[in-house]
Homo-oligomer: A and B are copies of this chain.
Amino acid sequence: MPATIRDVAAEAGVSVATVSRVASGGDYPIGAETKAKVLAAIEKLNYRPNGIAKGLTQRNSRLVGVIAPDMSNPYYPEVTRGIEDVAGAKGYQVLSCSTDRDPARASATIDALLAKRVAALAVIGGGDEVVLPDRDLDALGTEVVMIGRATRRFSTVRVENVQAGHEVGRHLIALGHRRIGYVAGHPGSTASDERLRGFRRALKEAGVEHRPEHVERGGYTEAGGYDATRRLMHAAAPPSAIFAASDRMAIGALAALRDMQLRVPDDVALVGFDDIPMAEYLRPALTTVSVSAHRLGTEAMRLLLDGSGRPARPQHLRVRTRMVIRESCGARRN
């Protein structure tokens, strides 16, 4: 068992109050000699204050909870990494959990996190499996921020999806495309819906109608993107360009088009979303939309941990995206 404050006090021949004061290192006045004795005892016993007990007395667990659909999908750990970076700098640590989009699991997780009295709680993802207890914020005992999901009740940090979708639409239209397929994400995904909305607005502005059969679900996986693309290309009037709501689905699309003997971008142009590290290393290199998942995390934590006390009202932030033109869209034909 690790040494306790009492062990150190006994070793140094002082009271626990004194040990507490030197161990926590504030500017409380301590006699030089006393301090030396205590420090020596701390060193000797390798004393490390019990953070759990500290959290209890200070009524601050210094824990931030992160809840995401699935930490094995790279987007979520990257957001979490952003959270960790600012939380860590302020002496907080992150407790992260996956829900697998299962409401029962999500609710058990929320319970566990709330039981641990997390000082802040970040919910990542646009799904609706996570339901916070319907109590006023004060009774929850924690600050909440939603990343990528719309709500009035809590602060939110979101991607400029509509605008990004609009930009992709305009780009493809400018390249002469009129029939453009959309590979959507997970059912109920806010991000996918918003990207589609912006994309359609661009089409509408250009006076081109978007047919329902030009939208297929890909579920954010390579396999889903592959299948969706095949379905798209088997439509009565197959698209000349495809916009996939994620790079992973775009990779599936690339494979599907290759397998159908279709060249990218010559026969079909392709645009992804996320700008994952390997997007640049695909051949053709993938045109995509860059969004900093890490930044979503840092912004979210700043919202929660910056305030001295709870902010008067929920704040809502949007993080901008940047379209990255590479080869797969055909803009760089030469």
Contact = CB atoms under 8 A, between A and B. Distances in A.
A93 B95 contact: yes
Contacts of A53: 56
B252 A281 contact: yes
A160 interface: no
Contact-residue bracket for chain A: 35 or more
Contacts of A81: 70-72, 98
Given A84-B98, A141-B2, A280-B222, A117 B50 contact: yes
A66 to B, nearest CB: 9
A48 interface: yes
Interface in A86-109: 88, 93-98, 109
B98 A95 contact: no
A46 B139 contact: yes
Contacts of A226: 281
A278 B222 contact: yes
Contact of A71 (B49, B80, B97): B80
A228 to B, nearest CB: 13
A40 interface: no
24 contacts: A1-B139, A2-B139, A46-B135, A46-B139, A48-B114, A48-B115, A50-B115, A50-B117, A52-B52, A52-B116, A56-B56, A63-B95, A70-B81, A72-B78, A72-B81, A77-B77, A80-B96, A93-B97, A93-B116, A95-B95, A222-B280, A226-B281, A248-B277, A255-B285
